[in-house]
Amino acid sequence: MTSIDKYLFQAMDNYPYSLEETLESLDYALSYDANNTMALCLYGRLYAEQLQKYEEAKKYFEKALSIDINALEVYPYYLDALLYNEDFEEAERLIEFALSVKGVNKIEIRLREVLLCEMKNDLGTALLLAKQLRLFAFSSDWNTMIEDTEKRIKQKIKIVLGKPEGEKKKKKKKKDNTSKKEEEAN
């Protein structure tokens, strides 16, 4: 194992629980190789996730991808930064490109595509894409995430359509009470 790997592992192990130690390890890693895409990606995450400095984060992600377009670890986090910064057009282009990169985790990218539609309030498309996520899942670990995503979008659609959340329960309860009364009468 090289020294840079040692510092990268330390940085990844410390993130996000010890930011000071993460930064120290990242600085050491980048002093060995200023073009290490993994270190640049983690720096981007620090700026995006911890400091909400999305423009600064984007610079690190862009640099990493300019060094190696196949830096697969960068795409999901770069997309997150674009989405939170509401750079929707950039996110659309990156999603389209990322899906063409061999080896990229398609479900992670497709999930961000669903989030993009959801954030743009294109809930019908978001729901359709969420239902298609199962086609890209090769592990049952994703099932809960997919179900939660579908449920969240369906709730938003109900809100947009003006249907109160409790309406269905009231109808079901009323129907159950009617059935009980009919049984008691017989």
pLDDT confidence tier of residue 163, bands split at 50, 70 and 90: confident
**What pLDDT sits at residue 2?**
85
Separation of alpha carbons 20 and 29, rounded Å: 14
Dump pLDDT digits (tens) for 3-16.
899 999 999 999 99
Separation of alpha carbons 157 and 52, rounded Å: 29
Tell me which residue of 40, 113, 47, 31 sits closest to 76, measured CA to CA.
Answer: 113
**What pLDDT sits at residue 46?**
98
User: Which range is least confidently modeled, 38-42, 69-73, 91-95, 157-161?
Assistant: 157-161
Q: Tokens for 68?
A: 């190696």
Contact by Cβ (8 Å): 45, 77: yes
**What pLDDT sits at residue 177?**
60
Helix, strand, coil percentages in the chain from 3-state DSSP, rounded to 5 = 80, 0, 20
Domains and CATH numbers, the chain: 3-185 (1.25.40.10)
pTM for this entry: 0.85
Instruction: For residue 109, give Cα distances in angstroms to 2, 45, 56, 82, 146.
Output: 31, 16, 22, 13, 13
With helix as H, strand as E and coil as C, how does 116-175 read? HHHHCCCHHHHHHHHHHHHHHCCCHHHHHHHHHHHHHHHHHHHHHHCCCCCHHHHHHHHH
Dump pLDDT digits (tens) for 91-132.
999 999 999 999 999 999 999 999 999 999 999 999 999 999
